[in-house]
Chain A
Amino acid sequence: MPEPLLKVQGLKTYFFLERGVVKAVDGVDFEMKKGEILGLVGETGCGKSVTALSILRLIQSPPGRIVEGKVIFEGEDLLKKSNEEMRKIRGTKISMIFQDPHTSLDPVFTIGFQIAEPIVLHQVIEQHLMRAEEVPGKVMEMLKLVRIPDPEHRVVEYPHQFSGGMKQRAMIAMMISCNPSLLIADEPTTAVDVTIQAQILDLMRDLRQKLGTSVLLITHNLGVVAEMCNRLAVMYAGNIVEQADLKTLFEDPKHPYTSALLAAVPKVGTKKMELETIPGMVPSLITPPPGCKFHPRCPHAMDICRKEFPQMIEIDKGRLVRCHLYGGGSKK
C-alpha cells in the first residue's frame, strides 16, 4: 500500500478573538492518495477553507493559529517546517487556486509576467531546473495547456482584458506551472458562469489526467462534487463527519447531516414539491454544543449525543463516520 500523498492528523486551527476563541478546525483527520480528487464539502463556516489554508500554513497569525496536529505531505510534517521551507513548497509542490479570479490576479502586471513569476522564482533561481531563456516557452506551453485561445496575443495582456473564466484559467496556469503534486482548489468555479464552470471543471479533469496532480476540491456545491470527485469528506462545525467514496456517499449517506444536506439540494428532474430542511442553525464555533455538535439539529439525537463527542469510526473500507448511531463512543 503506497504511502498517502497527504495525511492530516488531528488538525486544530483556532482564531483567538476578543469575543472568544473560534474553533474553526477542531480535530480534522483525512488522507489523500496520489492522483485522486478529494472533495471537501460543507456549508459556510464549517472550516473547509481554513483547513486548506492550514495545510499551506497561510493562516493569518494573529489572530489564527494552528494549535495542534500534523500535516504530513510526502512523508514530512509541514507544520514543523520553517517559513522559508514552506515558501519553497508553495507554488511548487502544493498549489492553491482561489475562489475569486478577479481579485487574485495583480492588475498591474501582464498575465505572462504573472505566470512566469513562479517559474522564474522556483525553477530557474531556486532549483536550477531551467534556464532563463526557456521561461517564455514554458509560459506559452502553460497557456496552451489551460486552453487560452490566441496565446501569443494574450500573453502580454493585463488581467482586466480577460474574462472571468479566462482569469481563472490564467490562475490555474500560474499554479500548475511548477507541476505540483497537490492542487488545492477553493471554490474554483463559484464566481463563474455555468457554461464556463463546465469548461474549467473539464480542464481540471484533463490536467489531472495529463499531469497526475492530486486535487483537494473545496466547495459547497454538491453538483460540482458529484462530477469531479473520487472521494468526499463532509465537514460540519470544524470536524469531518463522514468520509466515503463518491457513489457510496450519495447513495447511502450514514451521517444524519450528510443525508439532510443531500436531501436539501434541488435537482433537475426531481418531482418533490418541498425540499427537506435542517431545523435550527449552524452552531457557534466559540461555544459549540456539548457532545456531538450536530445533536441540536439531529432527528436521531440520543442521550449520549448530548454528552459525548463521537469519534470517527471506520465502518467499512474507506468508509468513516463520526456518529453515535454507528458506535463512536470513546470507551470501548
Chain B
Amino acid sequence: MSSEIPRTKSRPAKAEIAALSGKARVSGEKLIEVKGLKKYFETKRGIFARERKWVHAVDDVNFYIRRGEVFGLVGESGCGKTTVGKLILGLIRPTTGEIDFDGHNIAEFDKEELRKLRRRMGIIYQHPQSSLNPRMTVHTILSRPIDIHKIAQGEKKEEIILKVLEEVGLEPQHLDRYPHEFSGGQQQRIAIGRVLVLNPDFVVLDEPTSALDVSVQAHILNLLGELQSKFGFTYLLISHDLNIVEHMSDRIGVMYVGKMVELADKEELRRNALHPYSRSLLAAVPIADPKHKRTGAILKGEVPSTINPPPGCRFHPRCPYAKPICREKEPEFKDVDGGHYVACLFVKSLRHKWPSPA
C-alpha cells in the first residue's frame, strides 16, 4: 500500500517562495557588522569573595549580516549566541566593540537613540507565553509598538492590526483575548505579529521553535519563511538545533564558549566543515532518518565554563587533534576560502586529513 499523502498545507502556496532562490533575496549590502564585540558579565559574588569573576559571554566576535539574508548562529549552552543577538539589538550594551547597523555604530548610541532604533528591529523569543504580557489583550500587544513609534492612529491603526492578524494566521475575534487563552503556536504567532506591526529591517529569532511541538514548529518556520519573502526581513536565527538552522539559513556561524569558530555558507558548512568542533557538532545532531549513520567520534568532556575558559584555543581540551601549541596560542578567525572563516591553527593540515566534500 502506498504511503503517498497529498501535501497538506494550511495556507495556499505562495509562488514567491519557490521562485526566490537564496541568492536573489540577499543583496550584497551589509546591514549589520560586528567588530571586536565583547561582553563580559560580572558574576554575583558573595560578601566574602576576593576577586571579581567575569563571565566571558562574548569574547571578540567579528562577522557581518547581509540585508535580506538568514544568518544562522549555532552553538551549545553558554556559547554566547543569545548574547550576540541581544547585543546587536541593543538590549545589552557591549563591554567593547563596534556594532554597525545600517552604517551607524549603535554601541555609541544613548538610551533614547537606542529606543528609537527599536522601530527597525524585532525579536522573537523561545517561550512564547513568557514573552507576552499576561495582562494585555492581543489588541493591546499589537497596538503598543504602533503607539510607541507613532506610526498610525485610529482607523489606520486598526487596519494595520487586522492586516497583521491575517498575515500571521489569527482571527479578529482573538483580539480581545489574553495570551494564556491561546496555544503555544498561536502565542508565537502573536509574538510574530508584534514584530510585523513595525515592519522592521532586522529580526532576531532566538530559538523560535524550541519550545513548540514538531507539527507546530513546521507551521511557525514556514510562516517565518513566508514573511521574510514578502517583507524582505533580515533574520538572525539563533538555535542549538542544527536541523532548523540548516533548513532556514543562508550562512551559518558556529560559536563555542564566547567565540565564533567557523562561518560559512550553509552548503559549504554541511559538506566541508573545517573546525573540529563544527564537525563534532554536525556529527552529534540526531537526524530523523534511521539510515543516517553517525560519522565521526563522539566528543568527550564537558562544555567548559565561560568564567574560566581554557587558555589558548578554547576547544583544545576536547579536540581530538589538539597539539601542545593549541594550549598557548589562540587561533585567529580567518577567511580561508572565499567567505569561509575558521579559527583553528591547523586548519590547513586538517583539511587534507578529512574525507573530501561529497
Contacts and interface: CB of A to CB of B under 8 A. Distances in A.
A325 to B, nearest CB: 8
Interface string B247-286: 1100000000000000000000010000000001111111
A197 interface: yes
A254 B1 CA distance: 8
Contacts of B242: 194, 268
Nearest to B226: A274
B287 interface: yes
B214 A259 contact: no
A225 B292 CA distance: 12
Interface in B1-36: 1, 3, 5-10, 17-18
Nearest to A268: B246
Contacts of A300: 5
Contacts of A194: 76, 240-242, 281, 284-285
Interface stretch (A29-37, A103-111, A131-139, A277-285): A277-285
B352 to A, nearest CB: 24
A89 interface: no
A44 B287 CA distance: 20
Given A222-B288, A226-B288, A277 B218 contact: yes
B174 interface: no
A195 interface: yes
Contacts of B76: 193-196
A209 to B, nearest CB: 15
B183 A281 contact: yes
B247 A270 contact: yes
B8 A279 contact: yes
Nearest to B248: A266
Nearest to B11: A277
Interface string A65-84: 00000000000000000000
Interface of B: 1, 3, 5-10, 17-18, 76-77, 183, 185, 213-215, 217-219, 221-222, 225, 240-244, 246-248, 270, 280-292, 294, 298-300, 302-303
Interface of A: 43-44, 163-166, 193-199, 201-202, 220-227, 246-247, 250, 252-254, 256, 259-270, 273-279, 281-282, 299-300, 325-326
